[in-house]
Amino acid sequence: MTPASADTRRPSPAPDWSLYLVTDPDLGGGRDAVRPLVSAAVSGGVSVVQLRDKHLDPAGFTARAAELAAALRPTGVPLFLNDRVDIAAELGLHLHIGQDDMDYVGARATLPDTSMIGLSVDRHEQIDELQRLVGLGVRPPDVLGLGPVHLTDTKTNTGRALGVTGPGSVSELAAHALTLGIPSVAIGGVGTGNATALAHTPVAGLCVVSAIMAAGSTSAATTAARQLLSLFTTSKEAS
């Protein structure tokens, strides 16, 4: 079997997954505040952005996605869209889906090779299924979102908290994913309090929502991003 990391259909070079921001307009002061907060966070070191807005109509989401993509283009920071596969295909952007969204194989078949797909995972069996698909020639996800590390108020339709270490934890799942050559990020209750501990696991980065979106201002978002990135990368280098 060809390792997932050797799949020539995957973008090269791979993104820097160290600090991945998922937007939330309810935390960030409304939809009009999202783009300035994202730009501020990117200036602080955010290296990947996902636009998530579950309640916005398709036309509105398309407009917001196009606007944010244009703002990010000069920075080289990739933009993922949450669950909107048709809009990702239309705009030539990347996609993130959960286990209850469109099935992975269907999403992968819909998007061009230039578009990356991230997938939420919370148990070993889901990675086993990806191994089966890779064996059948399906291109693997470009990144896995592992979580929730801890239960949070920003996403309530999750099961148990995985924790950082232990059976079925983020650390275990990240190691499992790496056997397929798939990098992962930890999400769900991720912040300065656990950034260092997560750096000592096999995850490639931190995926945050409220730690940046609820910072309160653009300057605070920049500061929060810098602090998170410093904690993670410094501890990662030392581990």
Please classify residue 30 by burial: count the beta carbons closer than 10 Å to its beta carbon, then call 0-12 exposed, 13-18 middle and 19+ buried: exposed
Do the beta carbons of residue 127 and residue 121 sit within 8 Å? yes
**48 marked as part of a ligand binding site:** no
**122 marked as part of a ligand binding site:** no
- CATH hierarchy code of domain 4-238: 3.20.20.70
**226 marked as part of a ligand binding site:** no
Is residue 152 predicted with pLDDT exceeding 90?
A: no
pLDDT tens digits along 99-150: 998 899 999 999 999 999 999 999 999 999 999 999 999 999 999 999 999 9
Q: Which has the closest alpha carbon to 20: 177, 186, 172?
A: 186
Is residue 93 predicted with pLDDT exceeding 50?
A: yes
Please classify residue 134 by burial: count the beta carbons closer than 10 Å to its beta carbon, then call 0-12 exposed, 13-18 middle and 19+ buried: buried
Average pLDDT (171-187) is 98
Q: What 8-state DSSP symbol labels residue 139? A: P
The residues spanned by each domain of the chain are 4-238
CA distance 200 to 140: 25
**236 marked as part of a ligand binding site:** no
pLDDT band at 11 (very low <50, low <70, confident <90, very high): confident
**86 marked as part of a ligand binding site:** no
**54 marked as part of a ligand binding site:** yes
**50 marked as part of a ligand binding site:** yes
CA distance 140 to 24: 27
**42 marked as part of a ligand binding site:** no
